[in-house]
């Protein structure tokens, strides 16, 4: 029988940003690791974007060799404590587990988290090979690339506009899902003498990509993420009280704007509507709940089709957040001061178009109005447009993502790109996989 972690009681969660999932005990992780069948084909490894040797680290847990298990994971995944908490294992490694045919998959994510939280690992001194790479962006893709390059003896300068590393792990994901202490621990564990962090540097403004190329670097990896929020097409979307989830979460996670003594406090919300159905929408709604805001989520599909992780949806429902299904926002209702007072929604329905199911507005039903003084839009993000404006020779696709070849090299020789800058808004583990792949491509060229 599959083991599940204990969670903080729902009644206690509404007033605290403490982590909800409490993780495995030693007894639980040993029992869960024992469920692994050690399949010869290892489909879980194949389905992992960074190909963690899952059977080996589970076997090491069974032998009570947690430090060895951590070393095994770190060979391919530099952020196991992060991935164990936020990765969609249910659609990746666990989905491929053969136990799903007769039972439930091994809880790989929670085992990985346990190892990251309880294992110890010491970095060995790296032997430099007189090669240097500039990495633009200190999020998951940039971290994975820098880590892989440094292991090959290549010096790395990481440039980021923030004053701390982590990217979306730090400013986007709330503590109740990913504590900042975990992010700090994981990053500190990876830093070594070949990696230098250049903080508060906006590549494209503070320093151009051309200037970077002139600083005797042998290659550049762009991992600038997808920090440009997208908005839905609805009338008065610029009304007072309408925010992107990016701004809302960043102001809470990074600037503590929800605290009473903060110099730039949050907009005074009493009732808010979160538009969207992904992890970011769930994060925003659950943050608002913890600030004593009356909150609901409006999603254009049904709740069982929300792209957010199943565990996050369950936690939100346990906390009392209502999900209003099959609603498409049409207009923000405003008062004489152009302040939001509600949103007009058109109900939606599912239809078959060319053999595929589509969501369309159901014009046979009357529009409905949900009253609220604020709205948080969480419908996706786009890559940073800064590079296109300062480096027109860098080719982008129709989604404004950087075009790359199979080696993740861009239209500019020895300039690589990966993570959300290429994929759009994707998962942490996908970004890690791209950072690692780009590093291996650079290594193949330089070494």
CB 54 within 8 A of CB 108: yes
Rounded to whole angstroms, the Cα distance separating 80 from 73 reads 7
> In sequence order, what are the residues at sequence separation of 6 or more whose Cβ sits closer than 8 angstroms to the Cβ of residue 136?
142, 159, 160, 203, 209, 212, 220, 221, 222, 223, 224
To the nearest 10 degrees (0 to 180), the angle between helices 108-118 and 26-33 is 130
List every span in the chain annotated with CATH 3.50.50.60: 132-227+382-446, 231-379
According to CATH, where is 1.10.1060.10 located in the chain?
10-118
Greater pLDDT, 176 or 389? 176
Place of tokens 């530099």: 78
Strands in 152-214 per DSSP E: 155-159, 195-198
DSSP 274: E
Taking the C-alpha atoms of residue 49 and residue 276, their distance in angstroms, rounded to an integer, is 26
* Average pLDDT over the chain, rounded to an integer: 93
* Homologous superfamily of domain range 231-379: FAD/NAD(P)-binding domain (3.50.50.60)
Superfamily of structural domain 10-118: Alpha-helical ferredoxin (1.10.1060.10)
Query: Please, are residues 105 and 2 in contact by the beta-carbon 8 Å criterion?
Result: yes
Instruction: Produce one character per residue of 42-51: b if its CB has 16 or more CB atoms within 10 Å, e if not.
Output: bebbebbbbb
Name which residue leads in pLDDT, 213 or 2: 2
Split at pLDDT 50, 70, 90, the class of 262 is confident
Q: How confident is residue 387, by pLDDT bands cut at 50, 70 and 90?
A: low
**Cβ atoms within 10 Å, residue 417:** 29
Map 56-111 to HEC letters. Answer: HHHHHHHCCCHHHHHHHHHCCCCCHHHHHHHCCHHHCHHHHCHHHHCCCCCCHHHH
For 71-86, what is the mean pLDDT?
95
Q: How confident is the model at residue 388 (pLDDT cuts 50, 70, 90)?
A: low
Assess if CATH 3.50.50.60 describes domain 132-227+382-446.
Answer: yes
27-41 tens-digit pLDDT = 999 999 999 999 989
Read off the pLDDT of each residue in 411-432 and give the average, rounded to a whole number.
91
What pLDDT does residue 243 have? 96
Query: Could you tell me the pTM of the whole model?
Result: 0.93
């Amino acid at each position: 029988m599959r083991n599940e972690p204990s969670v903080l009681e729902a009644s206690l969660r509404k007033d605290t940003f403490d982590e909800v999932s409490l993780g495995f005990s030693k007894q639980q992780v040993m029992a869960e690791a024992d469920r692994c069948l050690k399949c010869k084909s290892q489909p879980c490894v194949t389905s992992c974007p960074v190909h963690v040797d899952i059977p080996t680290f589970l076997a090491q847990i069974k032998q009570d060799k947690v430090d060895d298990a951590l070393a095994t994971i770190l060979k391919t995944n530099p952020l196991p404590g992060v991935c164990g908490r936020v990765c969609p294992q249910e659609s990746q490694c666990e989905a491929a587990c053969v136990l799903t045919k007769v039972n439930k998959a091994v809880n790989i994510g929670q085992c990985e988290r346990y190892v990251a939280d309880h294992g110890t690992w010491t970095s060995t001194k790296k032997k430099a090979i007189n090669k240097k790479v500039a990495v633009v962006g200190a999020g998951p893709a940039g971290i994975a690339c820098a880590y892989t390059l440094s292991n090959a003896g290549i010096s790395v300068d990481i440039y980021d506009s923030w004053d701390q590393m982590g990217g979306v792990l730090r400013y986007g994901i709330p503590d109740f899902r990913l504590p900042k202490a975990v992010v700090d621990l994981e990053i500190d564990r990876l830093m070594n003498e070949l990696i230098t962090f250049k903080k508060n540097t906006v590549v494209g403004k503070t320093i151009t990509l051309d200037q970077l190329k002139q600083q005797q670097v042998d290659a550049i990896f762009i991992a600038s993420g997808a920090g440009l929020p997208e908005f839905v097409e609805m009338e008065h979307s610029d009304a007072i009280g309408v925010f992107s989830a990016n701004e809302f979460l960043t102001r809470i996670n990074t600037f503590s704007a929800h605290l009473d003594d903060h110099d730039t406090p949050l907009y005074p919300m009493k009732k808010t509507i979160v538009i969207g159905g992904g992890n970011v929408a769930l994060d925003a709604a659950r943050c608002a709940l913890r600030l004593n805001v009356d909150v609901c989520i409006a999603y254009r599909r049904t709740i069982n089709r929300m792209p957010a992780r199943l565990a996050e949806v369950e936690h939100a429902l346990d906390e009392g957040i209502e999900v209003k299904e099959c609603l498409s926002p049409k207009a923000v209702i405003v008062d004489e001061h152009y302040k939001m007072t509600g949103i007009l929604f058109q109900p939606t329905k599912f239809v078959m178009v060319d053999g595929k199911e589509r969501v369309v507005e159901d014009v046979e039903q009357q529009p409905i109005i949900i009253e609220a003084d604020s709205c948080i839009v969480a419908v996706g993000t786009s890559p940073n447009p800064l590079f296109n404006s300062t480096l027109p020779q860098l080719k982008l696709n129709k989604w404004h993502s950087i075009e790359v070849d199979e080696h993740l090299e861009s239209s500019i020789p020895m300039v690589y790109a990966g993570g959300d800058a290429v994929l759009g808004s994707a998962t942490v583990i996908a970004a890690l996989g791209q950072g690692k792949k780009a590093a291996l491509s650079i290594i193949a060229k330089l070494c």
